[in-house]
Structures are given as structure tokens and as C-alpha cells.
Amino acid sequence: MTRSVGRPRDETLEQRVFDAACSLYAKRGWSGFNFDEVARRSRVGKGSLYLRWHDKAHMLIELVRSRACFISGIDTGNVRSDLIEFAHRWHAHMETDDGVLIYRLMVDARFYPDLRNALYQEPYPEYVRSTRLIIRRSIERGELPQGTSVALVADLVAGAVSNHVRNTPEHLREQFASKLDGYIESIVDTVLRGVQATTPSCNA
């Protein structure tokens, strides 16, 4: 009989580490985030953490990006419908703890060089690539003019939704939720009209 060599792989290790890291970062922010505490909370040896992530910045970035796979697969065949679906998913994400985590990471990166350097060494996260793919497809289909800024369209839609989520007072959130569909459609229609009006012709 053949016997396996070594300790079997712990399939739950990464999830335990990420759950512990998420909870710790949400409570203490970057200055209070460290491998010692993540190891204690996740019941994983600190040496195992260093084998998988060489520093806390890369652990945190991998954590955040592993929980941001919520935009891929949007392809209704129409740019307006795609952007409306994207805006709804982005709004739902912004209301979760993971959405708050991403926002806090971006804020902390402005003040901590180690985190900022690690963040911008990595390629664009999946949700950014997937969002920009929506715009590129619409340009290829002729729905948006050649020369349309892929980043700008995505940023305008996501930024408007993010701004509303962060700035709506708690006592108005229920009222905002009841009007969400119309608000999102208004954002998308405004952005699309602006793109059609301001994008220069390739023949100009």
C-alpha cells in the first residue's frame, strides 16, 4: 500500500487567514495590522504565513482582490444594459464589508508607502478589467464612438454610485433604496449622452 508523504494540504488555511485578516484590518486599519495577530486569529503558524505572503501588504492586497470578483460575466449585448447591471452590482458591493475594505485600502495606501508601493506593483484587479471590457466591447459594436475613454466611462458610473453610497445619511437610506433603479438608469443615461456629445470624431 502506498502511503502519502508529509502533512496533507489544509484546504481551509487561506480562507481562515483571509477571514482573520479582514476582521483585523477592519478593526485596526493598516497601523494595527500584523502577521502575529493574523496568525493567532487564524490558528496558522506565522512561518506558514511568510511562506505564502512575504509581507503584510501583499497579503492584504490578495485578500481584497480575492473578494472583488463580482463584475465578470456581464454581457447583455447592449452597453446601456451592461452598465446598469454593473452599477447595481457595484452598489451592492459598496454596501458590504468587503466594499468598505477596498475603500479603506485605497485610503490607507495614500498614507503608507509600503502599502502604496505593493498596491501599484500589482496589475489591475479583476473588477477593473471586467468593467473596462464592457466599454471596449461597446466600442467594437459601434455603440460608443472610437476614441471613447474606457477608463473615464467606467469611473463616472462607479464614482457616482460610490459617492451616493458614502454620502447618503442613514435616515435617508431606505428612501434612496426605493428609488435606486431610477437613479442608476439616470446615471448611465447621463454618462452615455455625455460620451456621444463630447467624443471627437476620428476624422476630425
- Are 102 and 166 spatial neighbours (Cβ–Cβ below 8 Å)? no
Q: Same domain, yes or no, for 17 and 98?
A: no
DSSP secondary-structure letter at 124? P
pLDDT at 105: 86
What the block records as the C-alpha cell of 141 is: 459594436
Q: Same domain, yes or no, for 51 and 89?
A: no
pLDDT at 4: 45
Quick one: 59 exposed, middle or buried, by C-beta within 10 A (0-12, 13-18, 19+)?
buried
User: Length of the chain in residues, anyone?
Assistant: 204
Mean pLDDT in each 10-residue stretch from start to end of the chain (204 residues)? 49 88 89 94 93 90 78 89 94 82 86 87 74 92 93 92 86 86 95 81 41
User: Which is nearest to 113 in space by CA: 53, 57, 37, 33?
Assistant: 57
Give the Cα separation of 127 and 94 in Å (integer). Answer: 13
pLDDT at 137: 94
CATH number at residue 28: 1.10.10.60
Give the Cα separation of 78 and 85 in Å (integer). Answer: 11
Question: Does some domain include residue 5?
Answer: no
Q: Same domain, yes or no, for 123 and 56?
A: no
Looking at this protein, which amino acid is placed at residue 157? V
Q: Same domain, yes or no, for 22 and 83?
A: no
Q: Same domain, yes or no, for 28 and 54?
A: yes
Give the Cα separation of 154 and 126 in Å (integer). Answer: 14
User: Which is nearest to 144 in space by CA: 100, 88, 193?
Assistant: 193
User: Which is nearest to 188 in space by CA: 77, 86, 42?
Assistant: 86
Q: Same domain, yes or no, for 54 and 90?
A: no
- Are 132 and 151 spatial neighbours (Cβ–Cβ below 8 Å)? yes
Please tell me the total count of domains within the chain.
2
What the block records as the C-alpha cell of 85 is: 447591471
Residue-range definition of the domain harbouring residue 168: 79-197
pLDDT at 8: 47
Question: Does some domain include residue 35?
Answer: yes
Q: Same domain, yes or no, for 34 and 128?
A: no
End-to-end CA distance of the chain: 76
pLDDT at 168: 83
